[in-house]
């Protein structure tokens, strides 16, 4: 089932076998025209909250450590509406659909991005393989 869920940045060129490209970011990329979108769906509920996003980037406060970010992001994914969207996505993947989870072009280290934590949740309900 792991091959059915990929992670990329939204501005990475589409590759064969990616399936449905889902932007899982709280914010839409700025100044991007609608016709230039590279995703099929946008599920903002699966992105970190505005507060967590600000904490991760140190907006108005010192940036939090990734372990704290992970803990808080996983807690957010256990709340509605994220939990409902996560169940919906799990069902689609379990039904055989291929998906690619897209995040910001600023997220260059995939091991320290919520899209990888989300992929782990979809695959086995934990974030143990998030750093692999």
How confident is the model at residue 30, as a pLDDT?
87
55-67 mean pLDDT? 92
pTM over 0.75, yes/no: yes
- Residue that wins the pLDDT comparison between 32 and 3: 32
Instruction: Give residue 1's pLDDT band: very low, low, confident or very high (50, 70, 90).
Output: low
Closest to 46 in 3D by CA, of 129, 117, 94, 125: 117
Instruction: Tell me the C-alpha distance between 62 and 18, whole Å.
Output: 36
What integer pLDDT is reported at residue 105 of this predicted model?
73
**Would you list the domain boundaries of the chain?**
2-27+38-124
């Amino acid at each position: 089932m792991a091959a059915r869920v990929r992670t990329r940045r939204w501005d990475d060129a589409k590759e064969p076998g990616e399936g449905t490209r889902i932007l899982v970011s709280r914010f839409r990329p700025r100044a991007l025209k609608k016709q230039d979108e590279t995703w099929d769906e946008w599920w903002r509920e699966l992105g970190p909250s505005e507060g967590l996003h600000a904490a991760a980037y140190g907006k108005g406060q010192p940036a939090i450590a990734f372990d704290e970010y992970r803990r808080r992001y996983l807690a957010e994914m256990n709340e509605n509406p994220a939990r409902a969207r996560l169940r919906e996505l799990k069902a689609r993947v379990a039904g055989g659909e291929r998906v690619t989870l897209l995040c910001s072009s600023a997220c260059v280290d995939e091991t320290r991005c919520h899209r990888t934590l989300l992929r782990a949740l979809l695959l086995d309900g934990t974030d143990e393989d998030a750093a692999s």
